[in-house]
């Protein structure tokens, strides 16, 4: 999901994107929705949140973060 789509979702939740990075913005959305704010933390590729809309992006972001 690109940052424009993430910003649109944030706006629907009343979150001002401002200068937040994608990871921070998604975690804010997760918190607002009452979910775990765990985006990009599945470093070992394991996640029990099967219905999460961020799931595929999350795994990719976690892999990228792990390499840094």
The pLDDT of residue 6 = 97
As a whole number, the mean pLDDT across the chain is: 93
- Taking only the tens place, the pLDDT of each residue in 6-30 is 999 999 999 999 999 999 999 999 9
- Between CA 44 and CA 53, with CA 49 as vertex, the angle to 5 degrees is 105
Q: Which domain holds residue 22?
A: 3-67
Higher-scoring residue by pLDDT: 44, 31: 31
| pLDDT confidence bin for 66, thresholds 50/70/90 | confident
The domain tally of the chain equals 1
Cβ within 8 Å of residue 12, ≥6 positions away: none
Q: Are 30 and 36 in contact (CB under 8 A)?
A: yes
Cα dihedral 56→61→67→68 (10° resolution)? 180
Distance CA 26, CA 31 (A): 9
């Amino acid at each position: 999901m690109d940052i424009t789509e993430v910003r649109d979702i944030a706006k629907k939740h009343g979150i001002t994107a401002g200068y937040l990075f994608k990871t921070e913005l998604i975690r804010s959305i997760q918190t607002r929705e009452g979910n775990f704010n765990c985006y990009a933390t599945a470093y070992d590729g394991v996640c029990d949140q099967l219905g999460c809309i961020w799931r595929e992006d999350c795994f990719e972001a976690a892999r990228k973060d792990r390499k840094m």
